[in-house]
Amino acid sequence: MIKHLLKLVWNRKRGNLLVTLEIFVCFLVLFATVVMIGYYADNYRRPLGYEYEDVWSISTSISTVVDLDRDNGELMRKYAAAFHAALKNMPEIESVAVIRQAPYSFSWTGRTIEYNGKKLSTTSNEASDELAQVLSLKLVRGRWFSPADDGLAWDPAVINQKLAAELFGSEDPLGKDISEKGDAARTGSSTPARRGMRVVGVISDFRKDGELSAPETYLFSRTTPGRSKGLYFLIKIRPGTPRTFEETVLRRLHAINPSWDFEVDPLTRVMQTKLGYQIAPMAAAVIVVSFLMVMVALGLIGVVWQSVSRRTREIGLRRACGAPAGSIHLQVLGELLVICSVGLGLGTLLVIQLPLLDLVGFLTTEMYIYSLITSLALIYGLTLGCGIYPSRLATRIQPVDALRWE
């Protein structure tokens, strides 16, 4: 049966070539889209590592911070500490933390750390003792920073599970000393080489860039208000505090220093904005691709329809010789399936090269296979769907129509 179908397809290879080509290209486009959606969906279902409900961020303008930082670190320290104390005393605020890069902010820092001769580049951040409370960080092991860390000879560090696994493998990360490579001159500031770091805790994760970001290794070091270069305050407000509280906060801060510029934003709002920017281009791509698929589907219906009506004689003859409607269905759809499989086979061969050549390192093998299966299923479904109506038309062909030609 299959051999026979192959023969039928082969006999009309020139006409079928174009359809095969179309399915091949269609598969590639669809696969790319499915991989993209799969990648982000996979990220989305991973835990964020923190909660940002009722958390607001307060930032100063970059120009203020940069000027102050280069100008007079002393002044900056003084003000930061004063702001921190003022915020802490407001009854509507549950807790206040300082962080160098707030969730959803656009800046990024990285460090290269070393343990036992093993070097690793990781994303890093600095935060104060209260961050665990403000963002409800999920500690897996050990502890977060505390005032007790003040007098230590080493810097405490908190890492995420991914970093713990990559750097220490199955070893217990707690209490391990890590050092840093080639950092001293990077910022251009004159800070002396850092002291050694010791891991004091492991958090489940901290995906600063939000739900769609890829999982990455993360390292927190400790800061206190005014010590860090960036100046982000994160405040956890009591549930039910109205948005107008924003103005109260600003008045309070401007009472300390009227010339600084602050921006107060609920993290939920920052998150929505950022998510919007990330999703918009993807949504556009998905819309375009779905229209392309509709177009291909319509085109296929047209082609199959035409080929059925051109083969009236052949089909009519089969009917006259007693072939049931089912076998006509089988023939039309079977031929289509063969053509489709050839196109998809070529496509799969091509697509499998990518992980083999290690060009898609950001995807897990699992994700890749799922995407492949989904795309194959979608294209088969699409092709079969397009074949059903024309093939029903084919079963209605009367033997008389066909015999008229003979």
Partner 1 sequence: MLKNYLKIAFKVFLRRKFYTFISLFGIALTLIVLVVAVSLWDHVFGPHPPETRPDRVLTVYFIRATGPAGNNTSGPAGYAFLDRYVRTLTSPERISVHGIFLPTVSYRNGAKIKSWVKNVDAEFWRIFQFSFLEGGPFTAEDDRNGNRVAVINETTRRRFFGGAGAVGQVIELDRQSYRVVGVVSDTPMLRLTTFADAWTPINSRKSQQFKREFENGMFFSTILAKSAADLPKIREEFAGMLTRVEFPDPKQFNRIEGQPKTLLEAASDELTGGYLRTVVMIAIVLFMCLPTINLININVSRIRERASEIGLRKAFGASSWTLVGQFVIENVLLTLIGGLLAFAGSQLILRMINASGWVPYAQLTLNPRIFLYGLALAVFFGLFSGVYPAWKMSRLHPVEALRGGEQ
- Minimum gap (Å) between residue 302 Cβ and partner 1: 5
- CB closer to partner 1 out of 199 and 264: 264
d(CA 228, CA 230): 6
- Minimum gap (Å) between residue 280 Cβ and partner 1: 5
- Minimum gap (Å) between residue 288 Cβ and partner 1: 5
- Minimum gap (Å) between residue 276 Cβ and partner 1: 8
* Residue 400 tokens, joined: 């008389």
The residues, any chain, with a CB within 8 Å of residue 191's CB and separated by 6 or more, are: 184
What is the number of other CB atoms lying within 10 angstroms of the CB of residue 32? 15
Q: State the DSSP H helix or E strand holding residue 122, giving kind and residue range, or none if neither.
A: strand 118-127
- Minimum gap (Å) between residue 77 Cβ and partner 1: 16
- CB closer to partner 1 out of 306 and 398: 306
The single-letter code of the amino acid at 95 is S
- Minimum gap (Å) between residue 290 Cβ and partner 1: 11
d(CA 308, CA 296): 18
- CB closer to partner 1 out of 194 and 313: 313
- CB closer to partner 1 out of 41 and 298: 298
Inter-CA distances, 254 with 224, 248, 251, Å: 21, 10, 5
- CB closer to partner 1 out of 64 and 224: 64
**49: alpha, beta or left, given left = phi > 0 and alpha = psi -120 to 50?**
left
Q: Pairing state of beta strands 93-99 and 232-237? A: antiparallel
Provide φ and ψ at 2, rounded to 5°.
-65, -40
Give the DSSP per-residue string, 364-405: -HHHHHHHHHHHHHHHHHHHHHHHHHHHHHHHT--HHHHHTT
What is the number of other CB atoms lying within 10 angstroms of the CB of residue 98? 28
Cα-only R_g, the chain: 32
- CB closer to partner 1 out of 49 and 103: 103
d(CA 90, CA 50): 24
The binding site for partner 1 (CB under 8 A) comprises 15, 18-19, 21-22, 25-26, 28-29, 61-64, 66-68, 70-71, 182, 184-188, 246-247, 250, 258-263, 276-277, 280, 288, 291-292, 294-296, 298-299, 302-303, 306-307, 309-311, 313-314
Q: State the DSSP H helix or E strand holding residue 169, giving kind and residue range, or none if neither.
A: none
- Minimum gap (Å) between residue 185 Cβ and partner 1: 4
Q: Pairing state of beta strands 155-160 and 110-115? A: unpaired
**CB–CB of 328/394 below 8 Å?**
yes
* Residue 283 tokens, joined: 């949504």
d(CA 90, CA 46): 35
- Minimum gap (Å) between residue 367 Cβ and partner 1: 22
Q: Is 158 helix (H, G, I), strand (E, B) or coil?
A: strand
- Minimum gap (Å) between residue 249 Cβ and partner 1: 12
What is the number of other CB atoms lying within 10 angstroms of the CB of residue 11? 10
- Minimum gap (Å) between residue 66 Cβ and partner 1: 7
- Minimum gap (Å) between residue 310 Cβ and partner 1: 6
* Residue 263 tokens, joined: 């921006």
- CB closer to partner 1 out of 250 and 367: 250
